[in-house]
Amino acid sequence: MTRLIPRIVRTAAAIAALMLLAVPAGAQSLFHRAENQVQVALVKVVRTANYTEVHLQTLAALKSVCWYASGENSPYLLAEGRRFRYLSGDNIAACPAQQDYANQAVMVLRFQPLAAQTRTFSLVEGQGGENQMVDPASTKSRFWNFLRVKLD
């Protein structure tokens, strides 16, 4: 019996840890407009153990939109001095393909998971987004950046 108790405790601890991972994603609704008067807002963030999901909503009809899935212009989240890379998305076109969006359309981008304690992050559209922040006149394309997004 005494040998059985430690095994039960270990098993219970493992089950508790797995249950924590299975908890439904924490979702937060918010409204954070893009920089440079781009007609898009970050409206929802879903955090799971596997990814951080960002929902972007158009505030006007937009034409010829695409996202770089890889390379220097691939979007990333910046938090606590670290970049969290893009993983996948829904209702988006991978460049060079392009997609038009009606007003109020929603795009979903998934990134590596942010740490649970993270309370502020920025979504930067790769090198182009970085350059645009430094010198907006130097970029020919419009990049979408969402700076200092606050989480609960």
Parse the chain into domains and list their residue ranges: 24-150
- How many residues appear in the chain? 152
Fold topology of 24-150: Immunoglobulin-like (2.60.40)
> Residue type at 129?
G
Q: Per-residue pLDDT averaged across 20-27, rounded?
A: 54
Q: What percent of the chain has a predicted confidence (pLDDT) above 90? A: 59
Indicate if the pLDDT at residue 104 is higher than 60.
yes
Predicted pLDDT of residue 46: 97
> In this predicted structure, what is the pLDDT of residue 33?
94
Query: Do the Cβ atoms of 53 and 29 come closer than 8 Å?
Result: no
The closest alpha carbon to 86, from 48, 124, 118, belongs to 124
Distance CA 124, CA 135 (A): 15
Residue 73: per-residue pLDDT: 85
